[in-house]
């Protein structure tokens, strides 16, 4: 191979590796693979998922965030009880215990993007600032996946956030609905 071709291949490989790199650091925290679920046109809410590793010796708390595409970013606890999904914003943030990992995924804890200014479209990358109680803030990019791709994260059935009323909760949203397949 010619030197030019080798240089071009090396550049392409480096670019591809950078494009697939999807983790961020904030002190002892490693924020890995932030993804969001595509939304339907007109949806006012969307969900994001991420894994956060706490490599420190002190608990960390994810308390919220900010994004230009959403009027409000909250961290929600999700539980399914008797076939009904209930969600509410964590009062003091999602705890990431020292030396442990917290995984946010469909059907469980998640980042809730509320008051969407536009639909979340598959393939786009969304800048979001995540806020931690003591560690501070970190800017990350959420890659928007199709609903099918996000379901693979859990292996479950779809939940339709667009049919839920998230308005007027003043940061203390509490809501429930049945899974979309029920």
20 backbone φψ class: left, alpha, beta (φ>0; ψ -120 to 50): alpha
Residues with Cβ within 8 Å of residue 80, at least 6 apart in sequence: 86, 107, 179
- pLDDT tens, 140-164? 999 999 987 766 665 444 444 443 3
What residues contact residue 47 under an 8 Å CB cut-off, 6+ apart?
36, 37, 106, 110, 111, 112, 113, 150, 161
Q: Does 168 have pLDDT greater than 60?
A: no
Does the structure show a pLDDT above 50 at 92? yes
Q: What's the distance, Cα to Cα, between the start and end of the chain in Å?
A: 58
Per-residue pLDDT tens digits for 36-60: 999 999 999 999 999 999 999 999 9
Q: Which of 58-62, 100-104, 116-120, 143-147 has the lowest mean pLDDT?
A: 143-147
Assign 116 a pLDDT band (cuts: 50, 70, 90): very high
């Amino acid at each position: 191979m010619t030197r030019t071709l080798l240089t071009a291949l090396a550049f392409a490989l480096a670019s591809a590796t950078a494009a697939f790199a999807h983790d961020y650091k904030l002190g002892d925290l490693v924020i890995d693979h932030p993804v969001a679920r595509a939304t339907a046109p007109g949806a006012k809410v969307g969900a994001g998922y991420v894994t956060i590793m706490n490599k420190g010796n002190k608990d960390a708390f994810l308390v919220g965030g900010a994004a230009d595409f959403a009027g409000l970013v909250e961290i929600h606890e999700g539980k399914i009880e008797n076939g009904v999904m209930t969600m509410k914003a964590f009062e003091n943030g999602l705890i990431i215990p020292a030396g442990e990992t917290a995984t946010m995924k469909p059907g469980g804890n998640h980042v809730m993007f509320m008051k969407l200014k536009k639909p979340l479209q598959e393939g786009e990358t969304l800048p979001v600032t995540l806020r931690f109680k003591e560690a501070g803030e970190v800017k990350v990019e959420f890659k928007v996946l199709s609903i099918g791709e996000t379901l693979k994260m859990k292996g479950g059935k779809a939940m339709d956030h667009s049919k839920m009323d998230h308005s007027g909760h003043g940061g203390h949203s509490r809501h429930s609905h049945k899974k979309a397949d029920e």
